[in-house]
Chain A
Amino acid sequence: EPEVTQTPSHQVTQMGQEVILRCVPISNHLYFYWYRQILGQKVEFLVSFYNNEISEKSEIFDDQFSVERPDGSNFTLKIRSTKLEDSAMYFCASRVGLANTNEQYFGPGTRLTVT
């Protein structure tokens, strides 16, 4: 069964460094998402991406964040200058695009630790 994959599974970085989190969505999916979950809290929407552009972003997704689909398979989240409060689990998700299913498929997550 196709699945969303994410690399790395765990990333440790120092405050102020740039990090890129990588995701490979399911191949025929058209919509892509990033969510964040700070330890012990709920999962929060960051951004959605469709047709090579951001379709919606949350208040969390400020200028320090960017997303890109550099080729036909990868979908990346870049944090330009990490802060301690960026420590969280980051989930990538994708969906086909048919409204009657609407189900997003989540990757296993990348745990980001900023020291």
Chain B
Amino acid sequence: AQKVTQAQTEISVVEKEDVTLDCVYETRDTTYYLFWYKQPPSGELVFLIRRNSFDEQNEISGRYSWNFQKSTSSFNFTITASQVVDSAVYFCALSGSGTTSGTYKYIFGTGTRLKVLA
């Protein structure tokens, strides 16, 4: 079975602090994909990053960085120098063949609500 765990329900930080959002996944697939999405109060899902299971390189995009470690089945997301506009719910998701139909559906975690205080 596939599963995504985001143990942090809510995190509050003061602006300019760094914050790391944790994501732990379970899958038996050898090929799978991991994603992070941002959901602002308006409700849409904003794509942040995709990683496939063969690419363990960490990635940095501006103030955002991602740490993918297969050994610990984790795909953590760090925001450096957080800003009020980063306040949102962040979802980690997993997609793999997982099923006989090969639909590559997404399995989402429960999300982490990030509040950045001015």
B-binding residues in A (CB < 8 A): 31, 33, 35, 41-45, 48, 50, 55-56, 89, 91, 93, 95, 99-100, 102-106, 108-109, 111
A109 is contacted by which of B44, B93, B108 (Cβ under 8 Å)?
A: B44
Task: Render B74-118 as a binary contact track against A, CB cut-off 8 A, 1 for contact.
Answer: 000000000000000001010101010111111111110000000
A-B contact pairs, 6 of them (CB 8 A): A41-B110, A42-B108, A102-B104, A103-B33, A103-B47, A106-B44
Which of B31, B45, B47, B50 gathers the greatest number of chain A CB atoms within 10 Å? B45
Q: A95 — nearest CB in chain B belongs to which residue?
A: B104
Q: Which of B52, B93, B103 contacts A48 (CB 8 A)?
A: B103
Whether B43 contacts A111 by the Cβ 8 Å rule is: yes
- Flag if A55 contacts B108 (CB, 8 Å): no
Tell me the B residues contacting A by CB distance below 8 Å.
31, 33, 35, 37, 43-45, 47, 50, 52, 91, 93, 95, 97, 99, 101-111
Rounded to whole angstroms, the CA-CA distance of A102 and B97 in the bound complex is 10
Residue of B at shortest CB range from A109?
Answer: B43
The distance from the CB of A113 to the nearest CB of chain B, in whole angstroms, is 13
When distances are taken between beta carbons in the complex, the residues of chain A under 8 Å from B104 are 31, 95, 99, 102, 104
Contacts of A89 in B (CB 8 A): 43
Residues of A within 8 A of B31 (CB): 99
A102:B105 contact, CB within 8 angstroms: no
A33, A42, A95: the one contacting B111 at CB < 8 Å is A42
Cβ contact within 8 Å between A45 and B105: yes
The answer for the CA separation of A56 and B102 in the assembled complex, in Å, is 9
Closest Cβ–Cβ distance, residue B45 to chain A (whole Å): 5
